[in-house]
Amino acid sequence: MKIIFAINAGSSSLKISVYSAEDRNATPREIANAQVVGLTSPSTKLTYTRGNENIYKNHQVTAESQDDAFSILLDTLLGDEKLDEVRSKSDIAITCHRIVHGGKYESAQIITKDTYHHIEALSDLAPLHNGAALGIVESCIRKLPDTTNIACFDTQFHMSLPPHVYTYPINQERARKNGLRKYGFHGLSYSFITRSVAKFLQKDVSQLNIIALHLGSGASACAIKGGKSWDTSMGLTPLSGLPGATRSGSVDPSDVGKLSPASTEKLHISKAEQILNKESGLSALTGTADFAAIAGADRAEHPQHALAFDLFVDRVSAFIGSYYVSLEGKVDALVFAGGIGEKSSRFRSAVVSSTACLGFAISDASNDSISTKGSVTQDISSEDSRSKVLVCQTDEQIEMACMCHSKDELWN
Ligand SMILES: Nc1ncnc2c1ncn2[C@@H]1O[C@H](COP(=O)(O)OP(=O)(O)O)[C@@H](O)[C@H]1O
Ligand SMILES: CC(=O)OP(=O)(O)O
Ligand SMILES: [Mg+2]
């Protein structure tokens, strides 16, 4: 039996799921889940569940970084005397880490000195994402010396993108030399969604065509053709495509502060990245990163909230239209996932009405009764919908745990 910690550093949250795996053929069984959410908003909250028992729910904590959150979660898990399977640090056999940028890695990697340095070098392409995750890897190496660390990459699922999609129309020699191409992210989530939706629709994965939306603090869309990534909205870094809670999404870089050559000297490129990644997006329009507050606000009283909501509906709908065409109209389902996709019925309803010309239609009653305690995939389409409209409670942690625990090297 092995204990697996699957650690998911998102941009506004840190989630750890704990699994036990009997042997390498058994599916890992979740025994606990601990998460700190709201890292980009003033109130940061801890939720901890052991088995079916809620120990903490939205318990206020102070954490300013992913690494602070990691210390809180590790103390919570190791300090729980009733978590029988994890008596001490040395019981944790495997920690899987969600690493957003994996460059051209095509599979999860055991983290050695070499792989660590390789991933560190890739951080130039996702400085604000890989940095936080690597900080946690370092903490694990220091605090959990008996554990095998494994890197699982968001980019892996998108290795199937065709050349005409992943190529940027720029100097090809420079592109090759510097690894400039569309990589795509949220791949662990899309991989989970693909498997879950295929199972739900009782279709072979290789026959599944869907438009999936992972709408969390970072948001992206993905066209999945024959079970594989065919196009996705994020690019070289997780900045392009859709806006996020604090991210601008695609903007013309010359618009950013209209920099003169002189001001460029002062405003180092990393400052621009800082602004576009952390100080933009829906919170720059509204002053809040909490999408529930944006979607729930009175439109007349809060015109900026209404603008942010409408803008997000517009950008998401544009990708749905584009992917509907690139999938030649053969779409089994439109799938909503991520914090916003799973929890905001108002947003789902607005997106479905704005893409109604493609034949999507939902039942308001089903849309309003989505339960986070219900099945992984829930159907909200109405009978007259041309494709299914589904809500999938995505789970990047189980995707990582399954990916890692079957590795031969861990059981020999
Ligand atoms: N009840 C809710 N209604 C609408 N949006 C919500 C709700 N709860 C959380 N969210 C939004 O979900 C997002 C966080 O989603 P999540 O997938 O957990 O993020 P990440 O993994 O990117 O940190 C935030 O933008 C948050 O405002
Ligand atoms: C890739 C990415 O944007 O991840 P997250 O939404 O978790 O920040
Ligand atoms: Mg996330």
396 labelled binding-site residue:
yes
| Same-domain check for residues 381 and 300 | yes
Domain count, the chain: 2
Closest ligand 1 atom to 244 CA: 25
Report the mean per-residue pLDDT for the chain: 92
pLDDT band at 268 (very low <50, low <70, confident <90, very high): very low
| Same-domain check for residues 380 and 261 | yes
Structure confidence at residue 263 (pLDDT):
39
Distance between CA atoms of residues 41 and 245, nearest Å: 10
Active site residue 154: yes
pLDDT band at 20 (very low <50, low <70, confident <90, very high): very high
Q: Which of 153, 180, 214 is the last residue of a domain?
A: 153
pLDDT in tens, 103-115: 989 999 999 999 9
| Same-domain check for residues 80 and 229 | no
Cα 132 to averaged position of ligand 1 atoms, centre (Å): 19
Q: Whole-model pTM above 0.90?
A: yes
| Same-domain check for residues 209 and 329 | yes
Residue 56 pLDDT > 60: yes
Which of the ligands is closest to the CA of residue 129? 2
Closest ligand 2 atom to 10 CA: 7
Residue 330 pLDDT > 60: yes
* Interface predicted TM-score (ipTM) of this complex, two decimals: 0.98
pLDDT band at 125 (very low <50, low <70, confident <90, very high): confident
Q: Is the CB of 13 under 6 A from ligand 1?
A: yes
Pocket probe mutation, ligand 2, options 14, 39, 100, 233, max atoms within 8 Å of Cβ: 100
CATH of the domain at 50: 3.30.420.40
pLDDT band at 405 (very low <50, low <70, confident <90, very high): confident
Residue 370 pLDDT > 80: yes
pLDDT band at 262 (very low <50, low <70, confident <90, very high): very low
19 close to 30: Cβ distance less than 8 angstroms = yes
| Same-domain check for residues 252 and 361 | yes
Q: Is the CB of 332 under 6 A from ligand 2?
A: no
pLDDT band at 265 (very low <50, low <70, confident <90, very high): very low
Q: Is the CB of 344 under 6 A from ligand 1?
A: yes
Q: Is the CB of 235 under 6 A from ligand 2?
A: no
Long-range contacts from 358-361, C-beta under 8 angstroms, 24+ separation: 358/320, 358/321, 358/324, 358/331, 358/386, 358/387, 359/385, 359/386, 359/387, 360/334, 360/385, 360/386, 360/387, 360/389, 361/385, 361/386, 361/389
Structure confidence at residue 45 (pLDDT):
96
| Same-domain check for residues 221 and 349 | yes
| Pick from 74-88, 118-132, 384-398: least confident | 118-132
Which of the ligands is closest to the CA of residue 66? 1
| Pick from 32-41, 122-131, 148-157, 267-276: least confident | 267-276
Which of the ligands is closest to the CA of residue 312? 1
Assigned domain for 173 exists: no
Assigned domain for 162 exists: no
Residue 331 pLDDT > 50: yes
Q: Is the CB of 11 under 6 A from ligand 2?
A: yes
Nearest CA to ligand 1 atom 24: 217
Cα 35 to averaged position of ligand 3 atoms, centre (Å): 12
Find the domain containing 298 and state its range. Answer: 203-396
| Same-domain check for residues 358 and 230 | yes
Q: Which of 116, 138, 153 is the last residue of a domain?
A: 153
Residue of 91, 154, 290, 332 with catalytic role: 154
Residue 44 pLDDT > 90: yes
214 labelled binding-site residue:
yes
Q: Is the CB of 186 under 6 A from ligand 2?
A: yes
| Same-domain check for residues 298 and 218 | yes
Assigned domain for 84 exists: yes
386 labelled binding-site residue:
no
pLDDT in tens, 169-205: 999 999 999 899 999 999 999 999 999 999 999 999 9
Assigned domain for 190 exists: no
Structure confidence at residue 253 (pLDDT):
67
Mean pLDDT of 216-234: 98
